[in-house]
Chains A and B, each alone.
Chain A
Amino acid sequence: MAQLDVRDAIRKGLLAGVIALGLSVIGMVEAFDQRDVITDVFSLGQLLLFAAPAVVGFLVVKGRDIRAYGPALISGALAGVFAAIPIFLLLMLTLIYPGLRAQLVNVSPTLIGILTFGSGQIVGGLLLTAVMGVLGLVGATTHVIPDRISDPLVLGVGWTLLIGVLSEVLLNILRPLLPRGVLRFLFGTKGITLVTAVILLVLITVGIAWWRAQGRERYQKRIAARSAVQVANARRTSLGAGLLLLLVLPFILGTYLTEVVDNVGLYVLMGLGLNIVVGFAGLLDLGYVAFFAIGAYMMGILTSQGDLGVGGISFWLALPICVATSTIAGIILGTPVLRMRGDYLAIVTLGFGEIIRVLATSDLLKPVIGGAQGILQIPKPEIFGFTILQPQHFYYVILASVFLALFISSRLRDSRLGRQWMSLREDEDVAEAMGIHLVKTKLLAFGIGAAFSGLAGAIFAARLSSIFPHSFNLLISINVLSLIIVGGMGSLPGVVVGALVLVGLPELLREFAEYRLLLYGALLIAMMLRKPDGLWPSPVRRRELKAEEQEKLMMQAEGLE
């Protein structure tokens, strides 16, 4: 039985406090305060701020096996109080030196108001310390009360908060379905109402508790008792339902959300392409945006009705040309880097991406692609006399492309070429010794990867009907790279999951916009440290990991004997 470890609690508490202070001074707390989770009661900014003490209270006790009430609760509260100290010091500093905002632009009166509950630095600071101490205590309490009660409660709170955060999406979907009175009862001006929150909390907690206690067992029994035909039927039904849902999605979501989904789709396309290069073949390409740009510019030049358009051909005719151009560009840019490996390859491809961007902005190519002014008046695609105009219409074009890309990717993955790529990823020298033609294999990876990106670029150009060089900066390459790493390198469902999490979520929460790359950066580091194979690892990786674990276990077992 472990005893109270004061130093550990203080250290972790201060660390959490520094993180909370960081979130405050870079303006995240204030920006997120704009969005209420529970109307007029609790905002996302406060959630961000108070997550630190609650989580640290939880972590201080976790894994230390403190079952005694006293030490657990004391260390939780202690960590919570110390988590408040960095912010308390900031408040005192603003009291002594009110001009701090000249240096730290985000230490605004509004932020001080949030941190002090609107009641002066000293009183508010003490109040904040007390609240954080209580939250640390609450975090620690989850370990003290039996799991049977605490688990459903924690999950219930989590889900309620999540629904509150995403309430805008829900409101958008439910608006046509429910009468206004009901909506006004459920949703406040921003976020859900307090009543809804309580109802949700109770429902979810009870539901989970019931599931834990009985439901799961019953469900598993029923699953186990199914016949083969039933299993096949169930799979077919769920597949059909999923497809149907994808087909009617734009009608459910409305214009704005469909636009978000369109964006996600374009990123999935690019992600699938980069996944071939990075995930399958292990060639870290940081200049991937170049092919996106080439696809988009090609579409612009071929179809634009403005001064720069040369072809004036239709979208559908231009599309294969764009894809082909990107493929060729991928092969051309791939040739000089064939001999390079790892980090050198990354830097050189980054250089290529920048060269293309600078060239696109420069006066040199201005007569062809318009320099900084870009290409305007790209017509919307037409099909059988019907103009694809709305995001809802583009949704189907993008959906079809994503399915095509998914199909090609999955076939490639299981093909001879796919296996060659993977052996290349594991060890280039061994792969070559096994008779794999390195040049051909690598160039195919670059070319096919570029093709997907060119397709995405072409659709992007037609969707926006004008393109500018600044839309094709390095950040797009980094976004795409982040999403395949977060999803799981080499995993096709991983790309979709990664795009939904990294592109979809931030667009739903517009307050994220400014902090998106900060979070990406932190997420990349965290993923590499904790879960290097991503949220949805590819089956091969999963098997490898399992094999490794078993080996470890066996070695441990041998060691014990």
Chain B
Amino acid sequence: MSQRFKDIDYIDLLLWLFRAVIIIIVIWGTVAKIFLGRGNAYTADDWIDFFVSGLSQGSLYALIALGYTLVYGVLFMINFAHGEFFMSGTMTATVFVALPLSASGFLDEHPIIGMLAIMLTAMLISIGVAVLTERVAYRPLRRAPRLVPLITAIGASFFWQYFFRGLYGSSLVPFPELAVLQGKYNLFGIEILKTRAVVVVASVVMLVGLYFFVMRTKTGKAIRAVAEDKDVAALMGIDVDRTIAITFATGAAMAGAAGVLYGLVFRQVHFFMGFVPGIKAFTAAVLGGIGSIPGAALGGLFLGVIEAVGPPLFLEGLGIPGGHQLKDVIAFTMLVLVLIFRPQGIIGERLAEKKA
């Protein structure tokens, strides 16, 4: 009998306890909300609204998460500066393209051409920043211990944040409103804000496009080969450095596009906008299984929905005041939980315990 208890690792026990407590809290809150009717009373429309806003937020996370997943896939490194790629393109496109176009009225006359121009600028700038960062801060350190590129990534992140703050100032920059996108669509009797619908559709299109890029094209094949084994890929005639740069560029392009969609939804951009979405998107990537593209998409949507539905559901049920303030806590708690209990994510291979 005592032998059996000896085998139980008390750390495991503690972690199990931790998990049980969180699950009980969530269930208790949900039950209290649904059956006891604690907190505000919401109609079915309200809940659909929460869900849809979660989906649109989640599709943004998914787009950003792709960058983390792609880079982690090839380099096994967390690109801490990815949130800044997202910010740099968006801010530049807003300041130099979106605002002048909107002021001249072009954006409302030709919304599609205007949006495409904004998006293209954002993607190009994001790509530029990403390739430059990769060249200066990551490439020379390929063979260094793993902590070293992580530290340069943190450095790059702060460098770009404050560089763009210097360029465009520290105040909020308004993102122009599109007349076409005001109001709601009516979909099977459900009213959905037009911007949210556009964000979800655009993200899905880009996710599918990226999936085909990675799975069907020659460049995509090269990326997968480098992710599998750099040395062998080099022997097969693949230019590894170039492929890694392309991987960074692909992720950054997605981030730049996500940034413009972010601008559409939140109608303002600023130099610090990359930080929190960056971490959330990383959470999404880990949640889905880092290194997997469908995983990033799934993780992003899941995180977005939980964040939107969670506060009104179980936090209000627990009688916690100001639940919406705690949505970041939900996201970070999920990150911690996933990393502790299922580092391989929803779909994906186990990578977390790979040698650091």
Q: Which residues of A contact B (CB under 8 A)?
A: 22, 25-28, 103-106, 282, 284, 286, 335-348, 350-352, 354-355, 358-359, 361-364, 366, 428-429, 439, 474, 478, 481-482, 485, 514-515, 517-518, 520-525, 528-529, 532
Q: Are A347 and B158 in contact (CB under 8 A)?
A: no
Q: Is the CB of B15 within 8 A of A336?
A: yes
CA distance A342 to B151 in the complex (A): 11
Nearest chain A residue, comparing its CB with the CB of B148: A528
**With A335-B11, A351-B336, A521-B155 known to touch, is A362 a contact of B146 (CB < 8 Å)?**
no
- On whether the beta carbons of B159 and A364 are closer than 8 Å, the reply is no
Return the 6 tightest CB-CB contacts between A and B, nearest first. A26-B166, A524-B155, A342-B356, A521-B159, A341-B356, A518-B162
Bound-complex Cα distance A428 to B147 (A): 14
Binds A, one of B136-144, B182-190, B211-219, B238-246: B136-144
Measured between C-beta atoms, what is the minimum distance from B33 to chain A in Å?
17
Asked whether A359 lies within 8 Å of B329 as measured between CB atoms, the reply is yes
Contacting residues, chain A, for B232 (C-beta < 8 A): none
Q: Are B166 and A524 in contact (CB under 8 A)?
A: no
CB distance from A369 to the nearest CB of B (A): 14
Contacts of B18 in A (CB 8 A): 336
Q: B168 contacts A439, CB within 8 Å?
A: no
Task: Kindly report which residue of chain A lies nearest to residue B275, judged by CB atoms.
Answer: A474
Q: Complex: how many Å from CA A22 to CA B132?
A: 14
Complex-state Cα separation, A106 to B165, whole angstroms: 10
Given the interface pairs A343-B146, A515-B166, the reply to whether A439 lies near B11 with Cβ below 8 Å is yes
Q: Are A525 and B159 in contact (CB under 8 A)?
A: yes
Inter-chain pairs besides A342-B146, A362-B329, A528-B141, 18 sampled, C-beta below 8 Å = A26-B162, A26-B165, A103-B96, A282-B147, A340-B352, A342-B147, A347-B286, A428-B356, A482-B155, A517-B161, A517-B162, A521-B156, A521-B158, A521-B159, A522-B159, A525-B155, A528-B155, A532-B148
A38 CB to nearest B CB, Å: 26
29 A-B pairs whose Cβ atoms sit less than 8 Å apart in the complex: A25-B166, A25-B167, A103-B168, A284-B147, A286-B154, A336-B15, A336-B340, A340-B340, A341-B355, A346-B78, A347-B282, A351-B333, A351-B336, A359-B326, A362-B326, A363-B322, A364-B320, A428-B356, A439-B11, A482-B155, A515-B162, A517-B158, A518-B161, A520-B155, A521-B161, A522-B155, A524-B152, A525-B152, A529-B137
Write out the residue numbers on chain A whose beta carbons fall within 8 Å of the beta carbon of B146.
342-343
In the assembly, what is the distance between CA of A355 and CA of B157, in Å?
21
Chain A nearest CB, measured from B295 CB (Å)? 16
A345, A481, A517 — most chain B CB neighbours (10 Å): A517
Cα(A338)–Cα(B279), bound, Å: 21
Does B206 sit at the interface, judged by CB under 8 A?
no
A103-B149 Cα distance, complex, nearest whole Å: 33
Pairwise interchain contact B96-A340, C-beta atoms closer than 8 A: no
* A355 CA / B162 CA spacing, docked (Å): 24
Chain B residues within 8 Å of A361, by CB: 325
List, in ascending order, chain B residues with CB within 8 A of A525's CB. Answer: 136-137, 152, 155-156, 159
- Could you say which residues of chain A place their CB within 8 Å of the CB of B148? 528, 532
Given contacts A341-B356, A518-B163, contact A362 B322 (CB under 8 A): yes
A522 to B150, CA, bound (A): 14
User: What is the CB-to-nearest-CB distance from A491 to chain B, in angstroms, rounded to a whole number?
Assistant: 16
Q: Out of B14, B95, B141, B326, which one reaches A358, CB within 8 Å?
A: B326
Q: Is the CB of A105 within 8 A of B168?
A: yes
Given A342-B150, A485-B151, A524-B152: A28 in contact with B279 (beta carbons within 8 A): no
Does B31 reach chain A (CB closer than 8 Å)? no
Would you call the interface of chain A mostly helix, strand, loop, or mixed?
A: helix
Question: How far does the alpha carbon of A393 sit from the alpha carbon of B78 in the complex, in Å?
Answer: 45
Inter-subunit contact B154/A478 (CB<8 Å): yes
Are B147 and A362 interface neighbours, CB within 8 A?
A: no
CA–CA, A532 and B15, complex, Å: 36
A474 to B167 CA separation, bound complex (whole angstroms) = 23
Q: Which residue of B lies closest to A362 (CB)?
A: B325
Q: Which residues of B contact A529 (CB under 8 A)?
A: 137, 140-141, 152
Q: Are A523 and B155 in contact (CB under 8 A)?
A: yes
Name the interface residues of B53-104: CB closer than 8 Å to any CB of A: 77-78, 95-96
B321 part of interface (Cβ distance < 8 Å):
yes
Q: State in angstroms the CA–CA spacing of A348 and B155 once bound together.
A: 18
Query: CB distance A339 to B326 under 8 Å?
Result: no
* Residues A338 and B11 in contact in the complex (CB < 8 Å), given A104-B167, A362-B325, A520-B158: yes
Shortest Cβ distance from A346 into B: residue: B150
Cβ-based interface call for B343 (8 A): yes
CB contacts (< 8 Å) of A106 on chain B: these are: 166-167, 169
Query: In the complex the two chains form, is A364's CB within 8 Å of B169's CB?
Result: no
Report A292 CB to chain B, min CB distance, Å.
18
Q: By the criterion CB–CB under 8 Å, are B78 and A347 in contact?
A: yes
For window 285-334 of chain B, which residues contact chain A by CB distance below 8 Å? 286, 320-322, 325-326, 328-329, 332-333
What's the Cα separation between A105 and B95 when bound, in Å? 11
For B282, give the chain A residue with the smallest CB separation: A347
In the complex the two chains form, is A104's CB within 8 Å of B150's CB? no
Nearest residue (CB) in B for A28 is B166
* Residue from B14, B147, B353 in contact with A335 in the complex, judged by beta carbons closer than 8 Å: B14
Closest to A528 in B: B152
B264 adjacent to chain A (CB < 8 Å): no
A521 pairs with B141, CB closer than 8 A: no
Contact A518 B336 (CB under 8 A): no
Residues of B within 8 A of A25 (CB): 166-167
Contact bitstring B1-42, A, C-beta under 8 A = 1, else 0: 000000000010011001000000000000000000000000
